[in-house]
Amino acid sequence: MAKPPLDYQDPPSDPPSSGKIEQPDENHMKGTVPNRLIAPGPFQRLPSIDETPWVVTAISDRPYWTVGKADPVLTTACRLRDFGSLPLNRMVVRFNGEEGRGLLQVVPPTHRFLLIDKRKLSRADETYYFLNTGLATCEVWFTGKGNARKLNSPQKSSLPPPDPRALAKKKALINSWPKN
């Protein structure tokens, strides 16, 4: 083992009050409490791991995909995290059938505050059912009077318009290159 250098000194000992929680002495600023405290937000007092029990709104023996109409636009928006249910939503529908067992989160029209809707896709009279909210495999069904939204095919392409003489122009350009 190597010896310490000749100028080595032991570190100074800790002050006598170290390791104790006490009021500061006269030489330090006294702790103050602001007059106005900011109130906690509505969800700041939730536990770090949500242990709230599920609120089962309905139980069915049918497969979960028969709950309503599948909506490709809402499903795509859910996969992009533009439409979905808040993670703290504990309202679910349980499906216990032999085929298609599942647990879907529910957002009824009376509980729209549990819905994330960045693109304003929701309708007033629809109830939404979510599978795998917040994941790339999210799926959305709805019940209500309206029809499923349709994905719009693009009217225009970002590609240049097709030119019937394009192939002939390409061949002429290639033939104009110098030959070795």
Model confidence band, residue 39 (pLDDT cutoffs 50, 70, 90): very low
**Backbone phi, psi, residue 81, to 5°:** 65, 30
Residue 59 lies in a domain: yes
Residue 61 lies in a domain: yes
Residue 149 lies in a domain: no
Domain ranges, residue 99: 55-143
Residue 9 lies in a domain: no
Mean pLDDT of 71-77: 93
Residue 5 lies in a domain: no
66 neighbors 100 (Cβ within 8 angstroms): yes
Residue 19 lies in a domain: no
Does 51 have pLDDT greater than 50? yes
Residue 31 lies in a domain: no
Residue 111 lies in a domain: yes
**Backbone phi, psi, residue 173, to 5°:** -65, -45
* Distance of alpha carbon 138 from alpha carbon 73, whole angstroms: 12
Domain tally, the chain: 1
pTM (2 decimals)?
0.59
